[in-house]
Amino acid sequence: FQMKFLLLSLLLVGISLAEEVKVEQGCRYKGNVYKNAETWSEKDAFKMKCIVEQNGSWRTEVTGCMTPSGLEVPVNSTKEENGMDWICESGAEGSIALKQKRNKMADCVGGHKNGEKWVDSSFEFECGEGGVQKFLGCVTPAGVKIADGEIKEIDGNKLECKMHANGTVALGALPKEKDAECVGKDGEKHPHGSTWVENVMFEYKCEDFGAKTIKGCIVKEQGLQIPINETREAGNTVFHCEVKDGSYRFYTSNKGEKM
């Protein structure tokens, strides 16, 4: 009887030991055991998966990348988030990398929508592909548009709109030739050295470099030419031609009348 009890005790001990060394099938990764098909995040950068084969062998693989916000991007695919394209791609020797680039339809800095055009300090811009700000050209105070690299003549001045190599943009007037023509009222052009009349009685002359200067007043009925800030008389009438506060005036008074 004593011998049978001893044998039974050994048998029970054997069963207990067998249970202690029984190993659960799964993937062992950094001290953790993961079941077949179980996934987890690694360093908040990659999505991992446990794969257990029928023969008991196991392996882990990267199934995707994680964006800083936690968005999962499967390997060799792209996902859009807040105007950015996040790309999780596999490289040589099984390496996995997460890359980012602006989405084609991304907005530009400053809140301008993709495809939107706007004017800032006489310069026109457009929000282009990938949220890249594109310079289109210049806009004069009168609303005339001049494309990037274009030279346009406006009111007798040749204006150039240009983006320089360093990225700065500028709208400037090109130097005139000494014998350049002048531009009069309503855009009418006058040759260098010529004179003409505007507003019935004010006479102008085209000086060097296209400078339009006023000579005085004309009274055709009396055949009078009156220089600026001078007077001429005809009968009892005094004709005045003057400049005051930047504006030109022509008026008449009676001889002997105090002004």
**DSSP string spanning 7-66?**
HHHHHHHHHHHHHHT----SEEETTEEE-TT-EEEETTTEEEEEEE-TTS-EEEEEEEEE
CA Rg value for the chain: 44
- pLDDT given at position 171: 92
SS3 content of the chain, % helix, strand, coil (to 5): 10, 50, 40
CA 34 – CA 50 distance, rounded (Å): 6
- pLDDT given at position 258: 63
CA 122 – CA 171 distance, rounded (Å): 8
Three-class DSSP category at 209: helix
The single residue listed with the structure tokens 């994680």 is 66
- pLDDT given at position 138: 95
Q: Judge contact between 73 and 89, C-beta under 8 A.
A: no
13 Cβ contact list (under 8 Å, min separation 6) = none
- pLDDT given at position 24: 58
Tokens of 245: 């506060």
CA 33 – CA 104 distance, rounded (Å): 42
β-partners of residue 84 are 81, 102
Angle at 78 between CA 76 and CA 79, to 5 degrees: 145
234 Cβ contact list (under 8 Å, min separation 6) = 219, 222, 224
This prediction has a pTM of: 0.48
Q: Judge contact between 146 and 138, C-beta under 8 A.
A: yes
- Conformation bin of residue 10: beta by default, left when phi > 0, alpha when psi is -120 to 50: alpha
Low-confidence ranges of the chain (pLDDT < 70): 1-24, 257-259
- Please provide the DSSP assignment of 62-89 as one string: EEEEE-TT--EEETTEEEEETTEEEEEE
Q: Judge contact between 115 and 126, C-beta under 8 A.
A: yes
Tokens of 156: 């007798």
Q: Judge contact between 240 and 229, C-beta under 8 A.
A: no
Tokens of 225: 């030419």
Tokens of 149: 């690299």
- pLDDT given at position 202: 94
